[in-house]
Chain A
């Protein structure tokens, strides 16, 4: 269930905010506005935006750019304890790469219904395969992720073999709700009682939620 409730949602939204900021940077440099951050032990260890125009390489997606930053300092094995926050669902290529690198979990904003690999078109993260599957959680700042993409796609792609004229395109602002019946809202998973708990219990609750960050067993 890609858009299911996300435990400790506010914590994850903090990192997704950083990913959205990266996507906004991408838009400024004419790259497809997808941004991501990799988080290890509550710390951002890699950030990425799409780099296909800078490299003339169609595979240089935000995830890969961020991985390059990570691997400049860390061994690849660090990814086994690392989560990815990306504004748009990883594509089939990235979904497979992340699985081969044994990522711990993936959080994303909106689905990618053109070539998404984590539920949008295919489910590479959980299909039969030799590498361990990983959990995905979608819907964090989904509307913002969609709007960033729309802003980009009303522009013309002059590098395409025959660029489509998009003069008449309008930036649509309405966003249809997710058709999945259950959509988690930010308040659902935040424990209401938390502030009232005694200090010791609060620490226990924090520990419990920290455990929940890990991949679903």
Chain B
């Protein structure tokens, strides 16, 4: 048995890649307007000399008041100024904390010709203290040098909520910029700067952003996923080798088997879903389902019943009969032929009648979630089942529950083969649980947007998928990569704060399957991806029906009904030639 560290290598995204992530998600940074104003003038007026206090108007507010007033003016007048969460940025910043390019070059020529200001040109007659042996001029000049630093920079709002011109006009209507005896010492200057749109996820990142854009806080949170410590804990739990813990590898294989099983029946493409419950280190497999989007609906196929029976029972009977009868080559051949013919028929029917992407409701995730509901209903306690019955009664009174068989065929949340049946039949779910609360989902492929949101609605806890689906997937957050162009749709539905549920999600990579014993199954990953890429075009029913592609495997069908070697301590060969790793999916 392999040590856990070689079984799965935890690989949480490093801050650098993470930054890229953030940038890609939301155009990376946002332009904001900053204003700087003459706080230094007020500060220079406050100190020691009695005469210089006289130069400030008595009605002048204390210096920090101006800052508050300006904030209030913005709050009252600029709609949507706080629409973006920019809590990770300093609102006010001293120049010494700002990157030089944000402040800009000092305009020494302008300073030379600018109007003298209160702090460096008080009326000489008032300045002269009769007792003093020195001229006040000297003191005043010294003060000017000291007073250059205390300028404050204020981050006002994103530039998309108000234009610079409008903002300029607005601020000119309010103190301290509004025309008044003092206003000339508060020149209003606005500037657009680029600041990080999203919070940093490490102190190093915060420091780097502060150096490059704007003073940024790190608040020990991760807005794009679970807290790093929680992720680490979950990863340990997933990988911990104990007799009662299922391995990711084994679950992934089971999901693949489920996908293969429905594909062989001609029902769908080879994708699968396994739902696991973990209670105090004990894991139970709750539901196993394969994709069945290509299974024709009763309405799309007049001869549905016979076809269904054929596919489900007759063929299995045939196989069994063949084996029992000594496995005559002729009988096998007949079974294969029958299967092939049936597959072609199904494909043809589907092509003629079905929606081009098939019955969307029969994606593996939807079916597995449905099975969990069925199981819950089956073992529900009195109050819960009474409530469900009441709701069902409401259906009947509304005339909606008219055809249960058709409904089941549409949702297909009942097992369609021995493998699915085997797990469905076990009453191994905690009684009266809520939906799929905190269950673990293992998927061969990144779920589509519908399925991703179904997982959110079902309150799942953890999702681990194998293949990324850049054209249809709803969990990953990247949209573009620097090297390869589009890599995803950018939904990141596993961790969207605006939705009412978040769950942890990993992409699971088995680095090298070529050397593994199972490579012979014809599962070339590239070929798989190619097949699924066409899926996005809705052409899967035309070229995805590989019903007769695996005829050699027919004899192996019986292992679907056997208990699989899914536990770590029994799973010897599964890890040979592989270096799998988990990559947490941040949004």
Q: Which residues of A contact B (CB under 8 A)?
A: 22, 25-26, 28-31, 47-49, 51, 53-60, 64-65, 67-69, 71-77, 79-80, 91-97, 100-102, 114-115, 117, 121-122, 124, 127-131, 159-161
Contact = CB atoms under 8 A, between A and B. Distances in A.
B406 A75 contact: no
B297 interface: yes
Given A51-B391, A56-B384, 7 more contacts: A58-B373, A69-B403, A75-B354, A75-B355, A100-B355, A100-B357, A161-B437
Contacts of B72: none
11 contacts: A29-B390, A29-B397, A51-B395, A55-B373, A59-B369, A71-B297, A72-B299, A97-B450, A100-B360, A102-B356, A161-B434
Nearest to A77: B355
Contact of A77 (B353, B407, B537): B353
Interface stretch (B63-71, B330-338, B452-460): B452-460
B435 interface: yes
A58 B458 contact: yes
Nearest to B365: A59
A77 to B, nearest CB: 5
A188 B406 CA distance: 42
Interface in B10-64: none
A53 B400 CA distance: 15
Given A30-B387, A92-B453, A130-B538, A48 B434 contact: no
Interface string B353-388: 111111111000010011011101100100010011
Contacts of B206: none
Contacts of A47: 398, 400
B395 A49 contact: yes
A58 B394 contact: no
A114 B410 CA distance: 28
A68 B297 CA distance: 10
| Ranked 8 nearest A-B pairs via Cβ | A29-B394, A72-B406, A57-B373, A76-B355, A93-B453, A54-B391, A96-B450, A96-B449
Contacts of B491: 122
A74 B410 CA distance: 11
A100 B500 contact: no
B204 interface: no
Contacts of B456: 92-93, 115
Contacts of A56: 373, 376-377, 380, 384, 388, 435
A54 B380 CA distance: 12
A100 B293 CA distance: 12
Contacts of A75: 297, 299-300, 353-355
Nearest to B352: A75
A69 B402 contact: yes
A49 B400 contact: yes
Nearest to B301: A75
A31 B394 contact: yes
B476 to A, nearest CB: 14
A136 B65 CA distance: 49
A47 B366 CA distance: 21
B299 A100 contact: no
B313 interface: no
B499 interface: yes
B499 A71 contact: no
Contact of A131 (B394, B413, B498, B538): B538
B410 A67 contact: yes
B298 interface: yes
Contacts of A101: 355, 357, 360
B61 to A, nearest CB: 35
A70 B231 CA distance: 43
B411 interface: yes
A115 B306 CA distance: 41
Contacts of A122: 491
B474 interface: yes
Contacts of B458: 57-59
B453 A91 contact: yes
Nearest to B437: A161
Interface string B422-438: 00000000000011110
B457 A58 contact: yes
A103 B301 CA distance: 21
B394 A28 contact: yes
B223 interface: no
Interface string B288-318: 0000000001111000000000000000000
B391 A30 contact: yes
A117 B449 CA distance: 10
A127 B46 CA distance: 58
A97 B474 CA distance: 12
Contact of B393 (A29, A91, A115, A130): A29
Contacts of B496: 121
A69 B400 contact: yes
Contacts of A124: 449
A130 to B, nearest CB: 4
Contact of B391 (A53, A96, A129): A53
Contacts of B391: 29-31, 51, 53-54
A130 B537 contact: yes
Contacts of A93: 449-451, 453-454, 456-457
Nearest to A47: B400
Contacts of B413: 57
Q: Which residue, A28, A48, A75, has most C-beta atoms of chain B within 10 A?
A: A75
Contact of A72 (B298, B392, B395, B451): B298
